[in-house]
Amino acid sequence: MGIDDYGGGQGAGADVLVVTTNDVPGFRVERVLGEVFGLTVRSRHLGSQIGAGLKSMIGGELKGLTKTLVETRNQAMERLVEQAKARGANGVLMFRFDVSEAADVGTEVCAYGTAVVLTPASS
């Protein structure tokens, strides 16, 4: 598996700029549209659970589970961006992930932040 299997985030030229900071240098917040989030819950695949159980006995990275979590986080982020765009935002500030167990059958991943309209700061 290559590096793309273990990473995420936005590509260049995204419609909605998503940042973990309170502000964006060179831009000002024109309007705050409120909280947005993207949520997904993934069940565990029996084969990967068995493999993870065996791997945990000898140590090392659980690559199958890592790849699944990356895919899950990317899906949650895509849903957050869709919600932000639907509200008219071109930015999301204070972006975060929250990950938790969902009723012992899967993993819940929530991507959340504050949808805003950004405009270039005047010089």
* 28: enclosing H helix or E strand: strand 27-43
pLDDT in tens, the chain (123 residues): 566 666 777 777 889 999 999 999 999 999 999 999 999 998 865 555 555 555 566 777 777 777 888 888 999 999 999 999 999 999 999 999 998 887 777 888 999 999 999 999 985
- Residue of 40, 39, 41 lying closest to 106 (CA atoms): 41
* pLDDT value at residue 75: 94
pTM of this structure: 0.81
* pLDDT value at residue 5: 66
Q: How many CB atoms lie within 10 A of CB 63?
A: 15
* Maximum alpha-carbon separation in the chain: 59
The identity of residue 28, as a single letter, is R
